[in-house]
Amino acid sequence: MLTHRVHRALAGHLRAGDIALDATCGNGHDTALLAQIVGSSGQVHAFDLQQEAIAQTHARLTMLGLLAPVRFHCADHARLSALLPAGLQGRLRVAVFNLGYRPGSDHHIVTAPATTLAALNACTDLLSRDGAISVVAYSGHPGGAVETDAVIHWSEALAPQDWHVIWTCPQGVRRPAPRWLWLTRQQTQT
C-alpha cells in the first residue's frame, strides 16, 4: 500500500529532534507519524485550511499522546512561509503533502495547483541540506489530474544537480492511481 511506503520513507529520513511540516494535515495520520518520530524535542507544523481538519488532527494527537511537538496553522499551505517561524529557513527536515480532498469531508474542497506550487516552492527554500519532500497526488477527482501534472512539471524543472526526484505510481491499483513524489536535496561534494 502506498501509504505504508510513504510512512517507511518518512520514518527512514526523519529523526528525533527534527522539524517537520504536514502541509495538508487532513485527518492527522501523517501528522501523528511525524510527531511520534520527532518527539518532544522536535517540532511539527500542521497546516490545513479546514478548521474541521485541524480539530480532527488535534483530537487524534491528543488521543495518542503526541500533541506536545505540534503547532497548528489553520491556513492555506500557500501561506506557510509567512506563518512559520523566521528561524526555520534551512532547518526543515521533511515536508509532507497529500493533495486532493480530505477523506470523509466535502469533496469540493480540494488543493489547487497554484497554492500547492507556492507551498512547494516555499518548502524548497526552508528545507535543510539533507531534507526531503513527499507529495502524494491523487488525480481521480475533478481538477486532480491538472494539479498532478502541475506538480510533475514543477519537479521536472528543478535543477538536477541540486535535487533527486523520484516519481512512483503503484501497480495493481484501479485507475487513476495516486502518484508519489519523493524529492531530496542532492548532497554536494566538497
Quick one: which of 120, 118, 122 has its CA closest to 134?
A: 120
- pLDDT tens digits for the chain (190 residues)? 788 889 999 999 999 999 999 999 999 999 999 999 999 999 999 999 999 999 999 999 999 999 999 999 999 999 999 999 988 999 999 999 999 867 777 667 777 889 999 999 999 999 999 999 999 988 777 777 888 889 999 999 998 888 988 888 765 556 677 888 999 987 664 4
Class of domain 2-185: alpha beta
> How many Cβ atoms are within 10 Å of 14's Cβ, its own excluded?
23
**pLDDT score of 141:** 72
**pLDDT score of 110:** 75
Sequence ranges of the domains in the chain: 2-185
Cα(52)–Cα(28) distance, rounded to whole angstroms? 11
What are the C-alpha distances in Å from 145 to residues 28, 119, 140?
24, 18, 7
